[in-house]
Amino acid sequence: RKRQRAVAVVPPPMKSRKKARQVTSRFHRVQEQLHAAEAALSAAKDAGQATGDTEDKLRRLRAELQQLGGREAYQQASRLQLQFCDSGRYVFQQLTSRGFRPSRREKRRPRVLEIGAVTRTLLRCPWLDVLAIDLKAQEQDIREVDFFQLEVDSERPFDAVVCAMVLNCVPTAAGRGQMLLKIREHLAIEGLLFVMLPKRCLSRSPHLTQPEFLALCEAMGYALLHQKASPKILYFVFSLRERVPLPDIAEQRRNPRRKKSTTRKGADVCNFDVRLSDPALDDEQARQG
């Protein structure tokens, strides 16, 4: 008797790097547009204006996201890209060379917060005590929580925070700034912050150059210890020297060229930006239109 072929109930794993790149960049683009449309909808509702067009746009964008395979397809694409971005090895090397790796006799393992974890690479490391979080957990021991909702334990700050290819997933410039500001609350003074970003975020953006991004980090209290670049990815390690209060950061440094920036379109352009602002003030400005 002929054997029946099993029917696949889950999509086959993604194999093409090109496809993976397309999925992640489309996902980011749609997420940014969704975020802007949601903000426009709530502003229109507050002002008592018609919302039909914006609601149509939101429906179209949600359908596009679903057609793409949602966050699951996006994370699968990220996993594939991860094989070529060895952020785990970089973290281990840097922690070891900076004296964070405990000797065999030492009981205390360095505490690490991994934001946006799609694999168990760091969790598997026997000499680290890792809290791995993600908006959508793909593994049992990755905690499903939004970083912005994670409670700060000021008694036990982390020795290192790993933010690999995550800042570029946050949909707004102010949100990215908030992420960098909030990381300081979780991180011990002299603790390490690892940031990995697609190279194009800082080489193809009309809003922010690499020196401007580094100056922004420095203004917050992060001192750059090391950086390297692969053909597609930038790797940075910072040490948190102090948590400079937001009002003490001059407007010029929070936002190096806000006045000149324009949104450009085109395949080679990336609209990555980071803005340091007070969320309460942002809400107030949005309410005032």
Ligand X SMILES: C[S@@+](CC[C@H](N)C(=O)[O-])C[C@H]1O[C@@H](n2cnc3c(N)ncnc32)[C@H](O)[C@@H]1O
Interface residues with ligand X (CB under 6 A) are 75, 78, 82, 85, 87, 115-118, 133-136, 146-148, 164-166, 169-170
Measure the CA–CA gap between 246 and 8, rounded to whole angstroms. 52
Output 65 or 169, the one with its CB closest to ligand X. Answer: 169
Give least dist CB 285 to ligand X, A: 22
Q: At closest approach, how far in Å is the CB of 253 from ligand X?
A: 24
Minimal distance, residue 148 CB to ligand X, in Å: 6
Residue nearest to ligand X (CB): 116
If the CB atoms of residues 166 and 219 are measured against ligand X, the closer one turns out to be 166
Tokens of 167: 């800042």
Q: Which is nearer to ligand X, 116 or 221 (CB)?
A: 116
- What is the closest distance, in whole angstroms, from the C-beta atom of residue 74 to ligand X in the complex? 7
Q: How far is the CB of 103 from ligand X (least distance, A)?
A: 28
What are the backbone angles phi and psi of residue 160, rounded to the nearest 5°? -155, 150
Q: Are strands 129-134 and 143-144 parallel, antiparallel or unpaired?
A: parallel
Query: C-alpha dihedral over 220, 217, 114, 15, to 10 degrees?
Result: 160
Amino acid, single-letter form, for residue 87: S
E strands in the chain: 111-115, 129-134, 143-144, 158-164, 187-198, 222-229, 233-240
Burial (CB count <10 Å: 0-12, 13-18, 19+), residue 95: buried
d(CA 129, CA 103): 14
- Is the Cβ of residue 45 or residue 136 nearer to ligand X in the bound state? 136
* Residue closer to ligand X, measured from CB, 136 or 257: 136
